[in-house]
Amino acid sequence: DRARGEVIFFPSRYADDFIILVSVPPGPGQEARAREAAHREKEALAKLLRGQMGLELSEEKTLVTPVTKPIRFLGHQVRVRSHPVHGRMVSTTLVPREASQELRRRIKRLFRRSTTGASLADRLQLLNPMLRGWGFFYRHAWGAKRVFASIDHYVWHTIYRWLRKKHSRVAVREIYARYGLRRPRLRGKNWGAEGFYLFRIAEVPVRQFHLGWLRPPRFA
């Protein structure tokens, strides 16, 4: 461990994808020693996987990268930062900006002008699974609650603009009366039609992922 001056390897995995964070005690040449330890671990891991499972590590995807540079893992951005409370360096997963932008583009395509002939219920049946899956995928990311609230705001106004185009000759108050339905324990009004209500990503519980939930992988 760090008290004895030994290297620490912290593995995170999902299915057959994994990332190993390497930490060495501070001192002269710390980055060089960490890189050397990472390359040794990479070689040992490749040998173990080849011998026990018949698997080969992809040289293109298996990289040794300093934690000071952005790291992408399973659609998340992994970075190392100083903890705001106890001050020590910790690894953190974030929602990449590109992921939020791509979700917005998918939402916009669902509510483009050419779809105004469809019913709101039809659009919600396509939209809600997309929002629910995206929210649960990123629910362990740091700052996810703020990102979710931003997406909800965008979705609400996208549907509002779509309904205005769909009912161009109907007053706004009538649109609210027809589609601005309330759900139990929900603040304000939420879009809904024919028993289908807009799913709000901000309702997804956000919490830090705990290592105790993860069984140690065989290579650890």
Asked if residue 1 has pLDDT above 50, the reply is: no
| Amino acid in position 38 | A
Confidence of residue 217 (pLDDT cuts 50, 70, 90): low
pLDDT tens-digit readout, 40-88: 999 998 898 888 888 888 888 888 888 777 788 778 887 777 777 777 7
| Amino acid in position 162 | W
pLDDT tens-digit readout, 154-174: 999 999 999 999 999 999 999
Question: What secondary structure, in 3-state letters, does the chain show?
Answer: CHHHCCCEEEEEEECCEEEEEEECCCCCCHHHHHHHHHHHHHHHHHHHHHHHHCCCCCCCCCCCCCCCCCEEECCEEEEEEECCCCCCEEEEEECCHHHHHHHHHHHHHHCCHHHCCCCHHHHHHHHHHHHHHHHHHCCCCCCHHHHHHHHHHHHHHHHHHHHHHHCCCCCHHHHHHHHEECCCCCCCCEEEECCEECCCHHHCCCCCCCHHHCCCCCCC
Confidence of residue 93 (pLDDT cuts 50, 70, 90): confident
